[in-house]
Amino acid sequence: MAMLYPGHAAEDDFARSESLLGGAARLPVIITDIDSDDHTVEAMRAVGADVPLLDGARRAAVHSPDALMWSCTSGSFLYGWERAHTQVQRLTEATGLPVSSTSLAFVAACRDLDVTRVAVAATYPAPVADGFTTFLSDAGIEVLANTANDIATAGAAGLMDDATVTSMIVAADHPAAQAVLVPDTALHTIARLTELEGAVGKPVLAANQVTVWQGLRLAGVAVTEPALGTLFA
């Protein structure tokens, strides 16, 4: 399957995922064009516009993928529940492939784990983080706590150190939450999922993790890999 990824921040998480999966799937990354990696509503909606996505999908064809993932959370949830589905449907119509996005993958992962109450550890400023809460609520998932950490850009999120990421997730947790969701695909998480889950004592669903999981499902690949967290156990 191929991963459409906006700009540069934590796209190397997919190479790490491919290594952990031991050859079960190839995860080539196609970088889509962006004008800005600012964590603003306007900039993040722009990365999910038709032109960069359809161009990325065209370039993905060289890999002959079985499925396509729009590997961006804010560039899908900021369009709302219904239009996020329209977004991937356009990609399906253009490519003939099964397509999903990171935002839709979060919902699918929660449903697979019977998770209905969550806490959110968002790198984003509040206006963007609030959009994720609305998206989840429209999908029937209750957000008990939504912590906005005001990281200004995707690039800055990609440079966050391990201790800061762990502290962010622990601080965002809520005692009644069944899982902690970490929505930014610009954040490096793949190498540390079991450690992060140990820090909060519950599943941690991170953006790049759920993106890989959903893509594998679309491609018809079944794989178990505990290093990728509860979702893959």
pLDDT tens digit sequence for 117-130: 999 999 999 999 99
SS3 content of the chain, % helix, strand, coil (to 5): 50, 15, 35
Closest CA to 23 of 223, 226, 229: 223
Domain ranges of the chain: 2-232
Q: Report, at the CATH architecture level, how domain 2-232 is classified.
A: 3-Layer(aba) Sandwich (3.40)
Whether the model pTM is above 0.95: yes
pLDDT tens, 144-181? 999 999 999 999 999 999 999 999 999 999 999 999 99
**Model confidence at 192: pLDDT above 90:** yes
pLDDT digits (tens, 9 = 90+) for 63-74: 999 999 999 999
pLDDT of 55: 97
| pLDDT above 90: residue 80 | yes
* pLDDT higher than 90, residue 15: yes
Percentage of residues of the chain with pLDDT beyond 70:
100
Report the alpha-carbon distance of residue 176 to residue 206 in Å, rounded. Answer: 19
Distance CA 115, CA 177 (A): 9
Span 10-17, mean pLDDT? 97
Q: Is 6 helix (H, G, I), strand (E, B) or coil?
A: strand
Residue 17 has pLDDT above 90, yes or no: yes
- 8 A C-beta contact, residue 181 and residue 205: yes
Please tell me the predicted confidence (pLDDT) of residue 23: 85
What is the CB-side half-sphere exposure of residue 45 using CA atoms within 13 A?
10
Is residue 221 predicted with pLDDT exceeding 90? Answer: yes
Distance CA 163, CA 167 (A): 6
Strands in 29-32's sheet, in edge-to-edge order, are 29-32, 2-6, 68-70, 99-101
Give the per-residue pLDDT at 131.
97
pLDDT tens string 103-120: 999 999 999 999 999 999
